[in-house]
Chain A
């Protein structure tokens, strides 16, 4: 089944404890992206990757890191999480970065930082 897999689904952590949210897609998509979704603010892009070893900042990159060493994987790293990073996170992928294609989303990771 074609899908984007995120793990974990739920995570509660403490301020300052480094964490990684994994994202993997099995559709051979070139483009991958991370979004966070917050009430009243909608979906906002954190980082994106047009292809392997090519990543760039989205609208809200502060406090996050990403890497794209393999085409299928695009982990999101929070080096020192803070409570304002409590949110619902979605990984998304697309066949390419051209305007023609929509995203396929992962199931989401609900992160709580206390």
Chain B
């Protein structure tokens, strides 16, 4: 049973460019969340997708957008990259069940460096 997978592992971009990161959730999961983790900090919630729609969003600008496909996989897009966007981007998947706790499983992340 494959866990959460992310691609690419590492990415180097320059300021102003655009980037797309990809995530495949754990088998059986239907919800994907994206987090940004800067060095020495905890993961910061970007947004969450369920049924191909953005359900919740953290405090991130519109430059950050996403998509979820019918097979539950997801993409994170960042436009007009800034130096401050350099971070580890984590994808986490879970199964949405109202009123109960659902553990989320994290992927290995994509390390984005903006020069």
**Do A and B come together as binding partners?**
no
Chain A residues with CB under 8 Å of chain B are none
Chain B residues with CB under 8 Å of chain A are none
